[in-house]
Amino acid sequence: MDGKLEAILKIAELNVVQFDIHRRKELSNLNRTLPCYIISYHKKGSAKLRVGNQLHTISPGTVVCIPPNVEHDHFKDSEEETEFLWWHFNYEIAGVMDVMKLFQIPVAFRLQNAEYFEQVFMQFITSTSRSTSLPLTILKQAKALELLYIILDSSLGQQMNSSFLNQSQSFVNLLTRIVQQPEEQISLQSLSKELHMHPTYICNRFKELFGKSPMQVQREMKVQKAKALLETSDMTITELSRSLGFSEIQNFTRLFKSNVGVSPSHYRSLNMKWRDIR
């Protein structure tokens, strides 16, 4: 794997929202949207999936992958029992960057190693059903990542590394820079000179690949880093704003309040009160 992409994945967080195994003779999820990814592996029986104008017939051994906020229909038109293993999750960096966008997974594809996936899925369920402990928490996260690995390896294999990275290396490098150093002073004009590309192309291509413009990702990463510093450090608001690359504290305060809803000082005081209550 490319070193830049690996650096991004090292700081990504996988959050599993829900999961289960369902056996149904009836299924009618129509005009459905969820704020997270939906992965559904069909072990037995068939179903239909509509995404946009495309209708897919889902047979045993097929994985369905629906991105967040995408309207779809998942339904059955037969009386046979269908068994599917599903989980809802987000894979993000600081709640800002949707890492799954890097992989461009198809909506439906055949799972190459179904037995391996089923085994790990059962291990994941077992790790969540027992009493909470630090080792089990680690095991749960490890199994969740292993499930994601199986999905990505089956849907993309080596193709992603060769085609995606060759075409988009400059933008992956840029994303890594922003994620690792959100305080760096960059602009579309400076990036244009550095990458020898038109500013509009840089913005549009970056947004096409990652879902947001580079400036938007940087602003949101700054806010997330500011929240962490306000919660954990004793830095003054002025010191904090300077560490994030702001020459004027008013600009930092304005950005923070527009994204969080309260000023940095108010956010810190609210966080301190919450810690005292706990």
Does residue 229 sit within a domain?
yes
**What pLDDT, on a 0 to 100 scale, did the predictor assign at position 157?**
62
pTM: predicted TM-score of the whole model, two decimal places: 0.82
Residues of the chain with pLDDT under 50: 1, 158, 161-162, 278
State whether 93 and 199 are in the same domain: no
Does residue 143 sit within a domain?
no
- DSSP H or E run through 64: strand 62-66
Q: Based on the number of CB atoms within 10 Å of its own CB, is 56 exposed (0-12), middle (13-18) or buried (19 or more)?
A: middle
HSE (CB half, 13 Å, CA atoms) of 128?
A: 16
Percent of the chain with pLDDT over 90: 72
State whether 95 and 179 are in the same domain: no
Does residue 150 sit within a domain?
no
Read off the CATH number of the domain in which 179 is found: 1.10.10.60
Does residue 107 sit within a domain?
yes
State whether 94 and 176 are in the same domain: no
- Residue 115: Cβ within 10 Å count: 8
Does residue 275 sit within a domain?
yes
Does residue 93 sit within a domain?
yes
State whether 173 and 108 are in the same domain: no
State whether 178 and 241 are in the same domain: yes
**What's the pLDDT tens digit per position in 15-57?**
999 999 999 999 999 999 999 999 999 999 999 999 999 999 9
